[in-house]
Amino acid sequence: MLKNGLFPIRRRTGTADFHLSKKAVTLTVRELEQLDERDAVLLLATMSWGSCEEMACPHCGTFDRHYWYEKELRWKCTACDAKFSVTSGTVLASRKLPVRTILRVAFEWMNGAAGKAALEIRRNWGFSYPTHYTLLQKLREGLVRGYNVGMLVGYIEMDGMDVNGRRYKEKRNRPQITGAGKRPSMPVQLLAPKVDPDTGEITSMGPPKPVKYDKTSRQHPDRRQLLVVRVRSAAKGGGAVRTRIAVALRETSDTVTRLATSSISAESFIHTDEDPAYAKFVSLYAGHKTVTHSKMYVAPDGTNNNQAECLNARMRRSVEQIYLNVSNKYLNDYACENAWRDDTRRTSNGDRLKHLMRLALSVGLSQFWRGYTHGKHRSHEMLIEGPKPAKPRGRRVGWEPMPAR
């Protein structure tokens, strides 16, 4: 904070300029509408394989110019004689929707900044809810199994964030303050900054923060920690460029080290907040610096993990304001989606759709969503501590409707 009590204005990074520029929009709904099914299949083939003329047969792996069957919109392998379509052997195998519809739904979903709910897309398209839901989840599966992988190296930021498990019961059945005369007045602390009498510096602004006394024991059992690892761009002002995430029960030394050793290479330099869970990193990596978040966002030497916080903010917007009620069972999938959305924030929408479809079609058959509409559901949460049986959804045993008044 500056001496006069004002905050320095943050420098613009150019993301807003990018989104308003021509190069941000290279594909539109109007262009996708003009495609017939043949064009859509060939476009998806080019997105997935880089070519619609030469590709590897999904049955035997032979790379060749396979025979194209114009009427069937499929290819026949020159080596094994098996026929295959653009979605054979991928998460979209045995699809019911035509490719042009899949492309347009994926495009609509991908264009959202922090996500787009399946119900909202359903209101635009009108297929059954499971059709939309499983299609979006299969696109997410591509990100879980195709994007949230690999080792990061460079200047890394790491952070944890609380998701789900709000202690709403503590607030239930308390009287709400109503009536004009009873409204709480503006706290004086917000109006008058506290000034240190010796130095004349402003020590605090805003209301006093609640004491974090015994926070862990009061936490809701459904609370999860989203652990975020992000690598900074080498270019100044470039922000974060690549992310790995994991969901944990707690942000402990064990869980953060597990994620770090599986996703960060040892020659990296790591920035975190002052949480003692990260103390081990000094001996594990080339460097480790911390910023004391209770006092500042950026340490005097420039240490900060604001890129990791940036993803936290997008994740919060996504689960609390767009998707609403994301269950812990699928939290990992939604977090991967937001990591991808944030990493590709300065990519044109045409390239983004290409990237999304390439990832979705590169991970093989769906392991999470095949047979979903026939009752085959994921039974566990994907946690860094290991799989945990998921909480059943629906009404509690013994639930009864509220009696009529």
In the stretch 277-316, what mask flags binding to Zn ion with x, by CB under 5 A? ----------------------------------------
Neighbours of 139 (CB within 10 A): 23
Residues of the chain by 3-state class (helix, strand, coil), percent to 5: 35, 15, 50
Q: Do residues 265 and 280 make contact, with C-beta atoms less than 8 angstroms apart? A: no
Tell me the three state secondary structure of residue 376.
coil
Give CA–CA dist 298/198, Å, rounded: 25
User: Nearer Cβ to Zn ion, position 58 or 115?
Assistant: 58
Residue from 1, 29, 80, 298 binding Zn ion (CB under 5 A):
80
User: Nearer Cβ to Zn ion, position 61 or 165?
Assistant: 61
- Nearest approach in angstroms of CB 109 to Zn ion is 32
Give CA–CA dist 358/335, Å, rounded: 19
User: Nearer Cβ to Zn ion, position 77 or 308?
Assistant: 77
Site residues for Zn ion, window 160-199 (CB under 5 A)? none
CA distances from 297 to 151, 293, 308, 386 (A): 27, 6, 12, 33
C-alpha 394, offset from chain centre: 25
- Nearest approach in angstroms of CB 367 to Zn ion is 23
| 77 part of the interface to Zn ion, by CB under 5 A | yes
- Nearest approach in angstroms of CB 280 to Zn ion is 50
In the stretch 3-42, what mask flags binding to Zn ion with x, by CB under 5 A? ----------------------------------------
Give CA–CA dist 4/20, Å, rounded: 35
Neighbours of 178 (CB within 10 A): 8
User: Nearer Cβ to Zn ion, position 53 or 267?
Assistant: 53
Site residues for Zn ion, window 42-71 (CB under 5 A)? 57, 59-60, 62
User: Nearer Cβ to Zn ion, position 82 or 117?
Assistant: 82
User: Nearer Cβ to Zn ion, position 45 or 144?
Assistant: 45
Measured between its terminal Cα atoms, the distance across the chain in Å is 55
Give CA–CA dist 93/86, Å, rounded: 9
> For Zn ion, which stretch binds (CB under 5 A), given 78-86, 116-124, 331-339, 368-376?
78-86
> For Zn ion, which stretch binds (CB under 5 A), given 1-9, 72-80, 97-105, 163-171?
72-80
Q: Applying CB under 5 A, which residues contact Zn ion?
A: 57, 59-60, 62, 77, 79-80
